[in-house]
Amino acid sequence: MPYLLAAGAAWACLAMSASAAPGDTLLFDDFDDGASCDTLSPLWTASDTNLAGTSTQTANSGNCSGFTRGDVVTMTGPVIDLSAVTGATLTAWLRQGLDTFSEDVDAGEDFVFEYLDATTTWIPIETLAGADPNGEITNVSLDLPAGALHATFQLRFRQTGGSGGPPANSGIGYDYWHIDDVLLIETGTAPPPPLPSGMGVGQCERFESGFGNWTATNGTRAGINGDTFQSSSNSMFLRHDTVTATSISFDSDNLAETEVWIRRGSDTFSENPDAGEDLTFQYLNAASTWVTLETFPGNGVQGEIFDRTYTMPVSAWHPNFQVRFVYPAASGSDFDYWHVDDLCFNRAQPDFSVTKSVEIEQDPINGTSNPLGIPGAWAIYSIQVTNNGLGSADAGTVAIGDVIDTNTSLFAGDFDGTGSPFEFIDGTGAQASGVSLNFTSLSDGADGVTFLNGSGTSIVPSAGFDPVIAAFQLQFDGAMNGNSGGANPNFTIRYRVQIE
C-alpha cells in the first residue's frame, strides 16, 4: 500500500501544491510530531482540541496516531491546489477504538472522510460505521472525484457523535477513532466523467429538469427546490408529513450500482426532522417487491449528508425497475425536511479475459500421429475470449488482434469448409457470447477480418500460407453478453499457421 512509504522521520508531515507529476506526494502525516505525541501537526485544525489530537494509544507506524473522540468533531487539513492534478488517491490507516487501549465506538458514532468542493460545500467520500467489531483496522484507499480537483481543496475527518470527551470516563473520554499515515498522492488517471442526466442505467437524476420523472402521493409534500443540493442548483425534498415519491419505470438491465446523495434537513436552510421521522430508500425488484436499501434516521446531526453507493443484485434487473423514497410521518407544515440529489444508476462493466493456446496439427514426417513442431508442420492456435463481468459490451465494440510469429506463415485459405481462414466457436447455452464474426472474402474491406503486413498496412493476402501476413485484426458483430446468469459467456477463434 502507498502509505508504507511513510516510514522515516523525514516524512513526519508534508503538504504541497500539485506540480502535475504522477506519483508526487500532495499531503502526508504520520502524526509523530511533538516530544510525547502530544502535539497535532500544524497541518490540521481541530474543531475542539479536547476531542481531537494525537496519542500513543495505538498506531500503524511510529509511536503516534491522530484521534477523534467523544462527540461531533472535525480535523481539517490545509488548503492544497489540485487544479492542475489529473487525479489523486488518498490512503490512510484507520482503527476503531477498543477498551484495552482507548474506548470503543457505538452505532451512529461514525467516521467520515470528506473534502471541500469549489462551492465551499463539504462532500463525504466515505463513511465508516461506528459498530462492531471494536478495534477493527481499515486500510482506506479512495480515488478523489472530479469535484475535489480544484484550487482550494481541503480534506476533513469528521466524527458524527459520541458520549462525551474528558473528563468523562476517568479522564479518557468515550468513543475513539484512530487515524495514521494519511497520504495523498497524485496519479495520472482522471476520475470518470459524470453520467448524463436522466432516469436510466448509465444516467443520473439531478433534479434540474422538473419533477416529471416522479409521482408523489401528496403534491405539496414532495418536489424540487434549491434549499440545498450537491450538484447544480436543485434537489428533491420530502417534508411535512406522510409522503412517498416514486420514480418512473425503466429497464434496469446491466445495473451495477445505485448512488444517491441524501441530506437531513437543518434549521439553517430548511427544517430538521426528529426521532421517528425517518426516510426509507427502496427499489422494485423483478418479483414486483419493494426492497429497502437503507432507512435514514430522523434524529441525528442537522444537515448531515449521506453519500451512498449500493451494489445492486441481478434480481434488480428487469424492464419495470423503479425506486422510491418513503417518508412515513412528520410534524406538519413547514417542518421536517429530507433532501435528495444526484441519484445515479451505474452500468455494470464487462471484464474480459483472453487465453491463447497452440496444438500441432500435423508434420511432414509423422503426419497427424504425434506430430512435432518441426519445419513444415501445421499448428492451430486457439484464442478464447471470456466475459467475467456482469456488464455486456456494446454492439460492435469487441475486437481482437494477434501478431504472427516471424517463423510461421498464416493460412489465409478455407480453415474448416466455411470459406474463412478463421473458425468461430461460440459458447453454448448460457455461455453464448452474443457476437459473431463476418467474413465475406479476402478482398472485402468491409467485413470483420483485416490482414496487415509488417508495416501495419492492410493487405489482400494469398489464399494459402502467406508469409507476408504479419498480423490480423478481427472485429465482431453484436453485443457480448455479461455473466448475469452465473455463466461466463465466451467464444473461441482458431486459425492455422505453418512452421518455416
pLDDT digits (tens, 9 = 90+) for 370-389: 999 999 999 999 999 999 98
20 pLDDT above the threshold of 70:
no
Phi and psi at residue 9, in whole multiples of 5°? -65, -25
The strand pairing partners of 136, in sequence order, are none
Other Cβ atoms less than 10 A from the Cβ of 166: the count is 14
- 295 by DSSP, 3-state: which? strand
DSSP state of 393: P
Host H or E run for residue 308: strand 305-311
107: closest CA among 127, 128, 126, 131?
131
In the block, cell 446523495 appears at: 261
User: Going by DSSP bridges, is the β-strand pair 490-499/378-387 parallel, antiparallel, or unpaired?
Assistant: antiparallel
Structure-block grid coordinates of residue 384: 478464447
The predicted model gives 473-483 an average pLDDT of 93
The predicted model gives 288-313 an average pLDDT of 94
* Separation CA 41–CA 66 (nearest Å): 10
pLDDT number for residue 495: 98
The third-level CATH classification (topology) of the domain covering 2-187 is Jelly Rolls (2.60.120)
pLDDT number for residue 17: 53
pLDDT number for residue 317: 93
CATH number of 352-499: 2.60.40
**Which residues have a Cβ under 8 Å from the Cβ of 71 and sit 6 or more positions away?**
48, 51, 159, 161, 162, 163, 164, 165, 175
Domains 203-347 and 352-499 share a fold: no
DSSP state of 80: B
Contact 127, 304 (CB under 8 A): no
pLDDT number for residue 125: 85
230: closest CA among 262, 274, 200?
262
The strand pairing partners of 257, in sequence order, are 311, 346
38 pLDDT above the threshold of 90:
no
pLDDT number for residue 217: 97
466 pLDDT above the threshold of 80:
yes
CATH number of 203-347: 2.60.120.260
14 pLDDT above the threshold of 90:
no
* Separation CA 349–CA 202 (nearest Å): 11
Contact 334, 239 (CB under 8 A): yes
In this prediction, residue 34 has a pLDDT band, given cuts at 50, 70 and 90, of low
CA dihedral of residues 267, 160, 256, 211 (deg, nearest 10): 0
67: closest CA among 52, 82, 81, 89?
52
Query: In the chain, what percentage of residues exceed pLDDT 90?
Result: 77
Phi and psi at residue 478, in whole multiples of 5°? 90, 170
The predicted model gives 458-477 an average pLDDT of 96
The predicted model gives 179-197 an average pLDDT of 88
442 pLDDT above the threshold of 90:
yes
* Separation CA 299–CA 281 (nearest Å): 17
Residue bearing the bigger pLDDT, 124 or 47: 47
Domain boundaries, the chain: 2-187, 203-347, 352-499
pTM, 2 dp:
0.60
* Separation CA 328–CA 280 (nearest Å): 9
Task: Return the HEC string of 448-464.
Answer: CEEEECCCCCEECCCCC
Cis bond upstream, residue 191 (ω within 30)? no
8 pLDDT above the threshold of 60:
no
Residue 87 CA, distance from chain mean position: 14
The predicted model gives 121-128 an average pLDDT of 85
Which DSSP string do the residues of 91-115 spell out, in sequence order? EEEEEE--TTTS----TT--EEEEE
